[in-house]
Amino acid sequence: MAVRLRPLRLEELDVLWEERLADDSRWSRPARPGAKRRLRTRIERSGRLVDGFLEFGIEVAGRLVGTVQARRPENAMPRGVFEIGIELFPAERGHGYGREAVEQMVELLMHSHGAHRVQASTWVENAAMRRVLERLGWQLEGVMREFMPSPDGALDDYALYAITRSKVAPKER
């Protein structure tokens, strides 16, 4: 499987928008006012670290299958710490693309953006994402209680995982 991270393209705006609207999973977010405009801005900035945000499209066999993002909000995290997130189109989940995209993003952050720590959080019941992180050597650091609003308005617990530079093996070139 050849997963490739690459900048998003403006002509993919409608595909990304439609995939988000069609995603009926627990993690999808309803469209808020201005959301499509914000998505366009994200595409225009894609592939570059701008204002603490870096995003790439995930491509497999020439087709876009999702996105992966890294965030380093100024004054919210120490220098060298990034948090990542991933969005795979519903039909593309379960094929290993997410695992490979996360692995590539961590390598990019560690080797090109000075990261010494990368973290990610996920709903405690998201077994698939937790399995991906654990298989890649990430450590569970704890559970953040009542952290994220759920679709029914309650507050869900989220598991916090991290990997540090000392735990990432250099890629063979």
pLDDT digits (tens, 9 = 90+) for 88-115: 999 999 999 999 999 999 999 999 999 9
| pLDDT value of residue 162 | 98
Tell me if 172 is assigned to some domain: no
Tell me if 130 is assigned to some domain: yes
| Closest residue by Cα to residue 109 from 58, 72, 146, 156 | 72
Going across the sheet that includes 81-88, the strands are 3-6, 53-60, 63-71, 81-88, 117-123, 155-164, 139-149
Tell me if 34 is assigned to some domain: yes
Total count of domains within the chain? 1
Cβ atoms within 10 Å, residue 61: 9
Helix, strand, coil distribution of the chain in percent, nearest 5: 30, 35, 35
Q: Tell me, what CATH number does 53's domain have?
A: 3.40.630.30
Say yes or no to pLDDT of 80 above 90.
yes
The parent domain of residue 49 ranges over: 3-167
Cβ atoms within 10 Å, residue 89: 20
